[in-house]
Structure 1
Amino acid sequence: MTAYRDRRLRDRPLPGDAARWLELLDALDLDELTDRFMARVVRVPGYDPAPIPVSELRRTGRDSFRTLIEGLRAGGFDGPVTVSTEVGVSRARAGIPLEALMTAIRLDFSVLWEVLTRVATQDDAELVIRHTGIVLSTVDEYVSQVQQAYTAELARMRAEEYSVHAGLIASLFEDPDPTGERLSTIATGLGLDVDCPLLVIAATGDDVRALQVIISDHVRAGGTMFAHHLGEVLIAFTQVPEGVGHVSDPVGGGVGHSLGALAGRIAEARVGYVRAEGIGALRRSALTARDLADVIAADETSAMTWRRGWARLAARSLNAAGNPILADVESALGECGPVERERLIEAVQVYLATGSIGASAERLFCHRNTVANRLRRFADLTGVDPMIPAEAARLVVGWA
C-alpha cells in the first residue's frame, strides 16, 4: 500500500514544481517544434503531397504548439480551443481523410515530448514524470476537439452537397423540357457526364425502405447514388459503368454480372427499373420505373423491368380506358368444360412464352401434335390465333 501511495505521488505535480515547470515550458522553442513537426507530417499518407499549402500547414502547426504550451501552463484546457476548430474545419474542407488527420495531430505529442525532455536536465526527471499525465490529457483534449470539429464540418459539407444535389435533381423533374445548357449544368453539378447512361430505380409503398437500404449500402461501399421523391414513390439513379450494354431482365446473367453486387440487390428487390440514355431522359425514365414498380403483384419478390412489365402497363392502360382486352376470348372459352379450358389456356401461355411448339411440348410433357391441336382448338373457339403475332399480342397483354 505504501509503495502504491508513493507511486501516485510521483505521478502528480507537487506544489513546489510550478516555477521549474514554467521554466521548462518557456524553454520550448516554437520554431524548433514546428520544424520537427513539418519534417514528419509530410511523410504521413494523406499529407504526401500536402493537400493544403505548406505555409498554411506550418502556420497552423505553430499555432497548435503555442496553444498546447498555453494549455500546459494552465494545467489543461477548460473550454473550446480556437485553433482546433480551424484545423478540423480546414482539413475536412481539404479532403484529408480523418485517419491521416489523427495521425498528423498525434505527432504533436511525440514532438512536444521529445523537445521537452531535451530541455530538461537530469534533476528534472521526476518533475517531468509527475507532469506526464497533464501533457497527455492536454494533447488528448486538443486531438478530441480537432476530431469533433472535423466531423461536424464533414457533416455540414455533406448536408450542403445533398441540398445542392437535391435542388438540381428537383429542377429536372419540374422542367419537362430543359435546355441542353441546363442539362449540362445539372450533370456537372452532380458529377456526371450529360450523356452517361443511368440506371433508374423506383419503389413504392412498403418497398421504399428496402430501396433506401440498397442506396445506403451502395454509398457506404464507395458508390454514388442519387435519390428523389415523387410523392410517395422513391426514385434512385446511378451511373451505368462503361462497357455495360442495355439493361435487360435482372434475372439474366448479363446485367447482374456487369453491375455486380448492386444489380444483384436490385434484382431481388420489389422495384421497377429501366435504363436512361443520359440525364435528359431521367424524368421520363423515372416515370416509367415508377409505373413498373406499381404493377408488381403482391406475391412477387423480384424487380420489374420493361421487358417483363410492358404488357402489364399496356393492359392497365387499356383497362383504364374502358376497353376490355379479352372479354370475347373469356366468353368463348366459357363453352368448354373446366378441364379443357385449363389445358387450352396452359398450352397457349406456354407457347407464347417459348414461341416453339417443340419447346412447349417438352415443358408440358406431351406430344408436339397435342400442343398443335390445342392451339388450333383455341383459335377455332376464340377467333384469336396464338400463332399469328398480331393476334398473339392481345393475349400477351390480356394475360400479363
Structure 2
Amino acid sequence: MLQVTLSEEGQLHSYFPQIESFSHPLASSVVHMHDGDWENILKEVQSDIPGLVDDFIADFSSLGSYGNSPVSEKELRHTAFEVLTMLMEAIAGPLDDTTFRQHADTLGRRRAQQGVPISTLIDAVQLDFLVIWNRIRQAAGGNQEVLISHVDQLHNTVAKYNFFVRDGFRRENARIAQDLRLSNARHLDKLFSSTSIDTITIEEIAQAIGCDAHSNFKVVVFHANSALKARDALDLATAEGKIFGYPHNGLFTAFWPLNAENQPDIPALPSAVFGKVEGLANVRDAVLASPKLFEASCTPTQPTPAHELSWAIAGSALAAFPGSKQNELSADIAKLRNSNSPALETVEAYLRTGSIKQTAAISYCHRNTVINRLSQFADTTGYDVTRPYEAAAVILALRHEPSSTFRTSSSSHPHSPPILSPK
C-alpha cells in the first residue's frame, strides 16, 4: 500500500511499492468526500498545460536533460506538452487504455531509437509526476485532505504510463539489436549531420558502428533518381551490417571498409564512386560534398568515378566567368550525348589515352574512324581535342550540366574556344 506523509509546507514524502490502487473501504470513502474539490483543482491545473511544460523544461534542463542524445529542445517541449496533457486527462477521468498505452509505447520507442539511456527516460517521466504534483499542491492551497485522498490516483496514473514507456523502450531496443541498420543510424546521423566534428567523436562513432576510424573505405553515393532503388536493394546488407547506409539530401550513400572479408554486391545504378577514401573523417567530407558534385554535373547513367564527375565543379565555376564559352560547349556535348553519337565516346577514350591507336583499340574501330570522329566532334563543337588547351575545356565540359540561360545554336561557337584556348 502507498505510504504518504505531508509536511506542514505541503511537501509530499511517499513510497510507492506497487501500481495497484487503494482497496481499503475507508480510502474509497475519503476519496468520494473530496471529489468536487479534486475536480476543481484538476480543471485549474489543466487550464495551464503550457505552464506545466515550462516547469518541466526548467527542471529537466537543470538535471542535464537528455545529455548528448539527439533530442532537440523543440521536440522535448512538444513531447512534454503531449505527455502532460495525456497524464492530466487520465487523472481527471476514465481514458481509453489502448490510447494511453499506445502514447506511452510510442514515446518509449522514439527515445530508444534516439539512444537515450533508459534511466534518463524514467527520470523524465518521474519528473512529470513531481511537476503535476507541485501544481496540484499549489491549486489545493491548505486542503491537505484532498491531496492525501487523491495522491494515489495521481501516482498510479504516472506509474502506469512509466511502465508502458519502459516496455516500449525495451522492445524497441531488442528490435534494434537484431537490425544493425537501426542501431547504426543514430551514429551515422551524428557523423554526417553535425556542423563540425572532432577526432575524438570520429573515434567514438567508429567504435560504435564497429569499424576502424583509420581504415580505407569505398564510398558510393547514389543519385537522387536511383536513391530509393539503391536503398531497397541494399536493405538486407545494411541490416546485417555488411555496409553502412545513409540517406541524405535525396541521395543515398553506401560505404564499407575495403579490407572487409566479404565485399558487398552493389547495384549498378547512377552514382558517384569514391574508390578509396582514407579514414572515416574523409568519408564524411566525401558524402557532404556529393550534393554539390551532382548539382554541377550531368546525371550519371551508371556508377561513375567521383574524380571524373568532379571536373564538372570546375566547369561550373568557369561557366559563370564572364566571356566563358563553357555553357555553349556543354550544350553541344549534351546534344551529342542525347543523339548517342559515337563521336562522344571516342572523344572520351582519346582524352583518357592521348593516343589514336589506343583509342581505336578501345573503340573497336579503325584509326581512320577515330580521326573522323574527332573531326566530327570538332565540327560540332568548335573544339579540337588534339590541342591541349581545347582538350582542357572539353574535359571540364564533359560532365558539366549546362545552364538554361545560354545560346545553343551552332553560331555560338565559330571555332572560338573559351578563355582556356590560345585561339
> Which range, TM-score by smaller chain?
0.3 to 0.5
Normalised TM-score (structure 1):
0.43
Which of the pair is proportionally richer in helix? 1
Normalised TM-score (structure 2):
0.41
- The structure whose Rg is larger is 1
